[in-house]
Amino acid sequence: MKRLRIWLLLAGTILASMSLKSQEIKNVIVMIPDGCSTEWLAFGRWMNQGLPLHLDAQIRGLVRTYCSDSPIGDSAPTGSTYATGHRSRDGYVATYPDRSMDELGRRFATDSAMAFRPMFTIMEAAKRKGLKTGEVFTCYFTHATPADFLAHTPDRDQYTRICRQMVCQAPDLMLGGGSFYIDSALNLAGFDALSEMEAKGIAYVKDFSSVKMADRQGASKIWGLFAPQDMAFEIDRPEDQPSIAEMTRFALDFLSRSDSGFLLMVEGSKIDWGAHDNDIPASVHDFLAFDKAVGVAIDFARQDGQTLVMVMPDHQTGGPTIGNYRSSDIYAEISVEDIFGKLIRHEKSVEQACREILDDSRWTDGSLEVRKGLIRESLESDFFLSKIPDETLDSIVSCFEKEGFSDESTRVLSAEINRQSYIGWTTHGHHGGDVFFATYHPDESRCLRGVIDNEEIAPYICQEAGLGNLDSLSLQYYRPIGEVFPDADIRIKGGDASKPEMDPEYADVRIKGKTRRIRLFPNRDYCEVNGKRCPLPGICIYNGVDFYLPEAGLWLE
């Protein structure tokens, strides 16, 4: 009898395990701390009084982050790789590269027939499956990483085109910055974003209280854009802007009401922006704010029991180090207070200090000595520096006078703060080291582990959540117009070959032997058939190279 009980217990355990392993993941949360160097993990703990980060318990290994054409990645292609499962090249947003790292194709050889083709993303696959979708970020929505999951272009700076694509296949929830791109700029290009959003039933608001109000009123789709461009750094964040943790918490509550499941992308966008300027308080406080959002996501996933969480930077930026040349001979003697004491007491970013100096009326009307005094005052009172060389103040004033409020001004002020610290930097750009990755899976045995490739993330997510094969979906949904209509007379109306960032008005398609005349509009989810507006089974992408559209259903009788 005892053996029977043991056997039944074992059998029950095995069956429960098999049931869990066969159960498909319902929800996916992808979290990207943009430009986050691995060193920020240690920074964060010291800034957090030595306590563990929310990330710590979930870290499983490292990710190789290089692009198709460079060992050092850019946000557009590295984020695209997480979204599509394929490396791409500098500046490309979810678009197949036209070259590999090696000119002879000996490393990461590319298929020339696929060059510039849009690549289907995990968010597009989630929408196709019927999942709710959302994005949370602190930059503007047309920026590289948010765009990587919903747009397709070989140039990340084509914000007009990216905006059109993201509005026309809008996620159910969008929280972050970028109201400028909806309100005015794109109307000048013949695209009325507000009308498009209204037609799609999107509640568009500009403050967090209105997001909650729209939700209470039953809105099924909400875009909350809380700044014309990017949101403030966490250390400078005004009360009327939500934190990334607050946005993540709302997003999870909003999206999880769906029985079909959801896919949410959360980006800590400005960790990267602060690191580009070597602005320590800006970057490290944004990292800590992101870690709080990770805590929100992990808590949700643990309680839900059906959610996969993936956290990984897209690349590293700035090369921050605990220790620099100043500490070379005394590194074992310097204390926590020596390294972090001042930093913990900082109450603003270096960028904000620059803005305040240049906005001060004494700067506008002041002499050289007055301007030097303003800079000395900020360095002493905001960043606790002393003994600032007079020639350093002259150099900073000269930069401020020449550049005004700019990255260069922030960097020259950061340089003096960093010079008097024990924190080092190697670059104002990106660097190519492996990044950490963290996961939570309700079945621990199915977590990715080890040193993995950035191309492995999207296929893993698709496998766990049943989103399909992205390569097959790319071929199905984004075929060049000439392949879709091989026997048609295709004429492009409008556009300018010398300005590939400008969309043409439409493509006119006349199929031989047919009376049907099809008019396709770039970056729209509808067409006209014999003058009648008809929905498309996907979005017609125009990316400056060609029209790409779904194969099935469009031209059949």
- CA pair distance 146, 116, nearest whole angstrom: 19
Q: Which pLDDT score, from 0 to 100, does residue 411 have?
A: 98
Question: Domain 480-549: which CATH class?
Answer: alpha beta
Q: Are 60 and 447 in contact (CB under 8 A)?
A: yes
Q: Which pLDDT score, from 0 to 100, does residue 187 have?
A: 65
- In the chain, domain spans: 30-320+429-455, 343-424, 480-549
- Which residues have a Cβ under 8 Å from the Cβ of 455 and sit 6 or more positions away? 81, 85, 86, 87
Q: Which pLDDT score, from 0 to 100, does residue 104 have?
A: 73
Q: Which pLDDT score, from 0 to 100, does residue 20 have?
A: 43
Judged by DSSP in three states, 136 sits in strand
Tokens matching residue 9: 């217990």
487-498, pLDDT tens digit by residue? 899 999 987 767
- CA pair distance 481, 490, nearest whole angstrom: 9
- CA pair distance 271, 285, nearest whole angstrom: 8
**Nearest 10 degrees: CA dihedral of 90, 91, 95, 99?**
-30
Helix (H) or strand (E) holding 339: helix 336-345
- The yes/no answer on whether domain 30-320+429-455 falls in CATH 3.40.720.10 is yes
Long-range contact list for 544-547, CB < 8 A, 24+ apart? 544/153, 544/154, 544/155, 544/158, 544/161, 544/500, 544/501, 545/116, 545/154, 545/500, 546/116, 546/480, 546/481, 546/482, 547/480, 547/481, 547/507, 547/520, 547/522
Q: Are 164 and 502 in contact (CB under 8 A)?
A: no
Judged by DSSP in three states, 402 sits in helix
Q: In whole angstroms, how far apart are CA 66 and each of 81, 101, 218? A: 10, 10, 43
Q: How far apart are the first and last CA of the chain?
A: 70
Helix (H) or strand (E) holding 128: helix 122-129
CB atoms closer than 10 angstroms to residue 230: 17
For helices 280-304 and 39-47, give the axis angle rounded to 10 degrees.
Answer: 90
Q: Do domains 30-320+429-455 and 480-549 have the same CATH topology?
A: no
- Give 23's Cβ-side CA count (13 Å radius): 16
Q: Are 467 and 129 in contact (CB under 8 A)?
A: yes
pLDDT along the chain (557 residues), means of 10: 45 43 82 97 94 96 93 95 96 94 77 93 97 98 98 95 95 97 76 92 97 97 98 97 98 96 98 98 98 98 97 98 96 95 96 97 92 96 94 96 96 96 97 97 95 97 97 95 91 81 89 85 92 91 93 60
Of 280, 281, 291, nearest to 313 by C-alpha is 291
Q: Which pLDDT score, from 0 to 100, does residue 17 have?
A: 42
146-185, pLDDT tens digit by residue? 999 999 999 999 999 999 999 999 999 999 999 999 997 6
Tokens matching residue 484: 């879709």
Query: What DSSP letter does each residue of 499-528 carry, written as one string?
Result: -TTSPPSEEEEEETT---EEEE-TTEEEEE
114-131, pLDDT tens digit by residue? 999 999 999 999 999 999
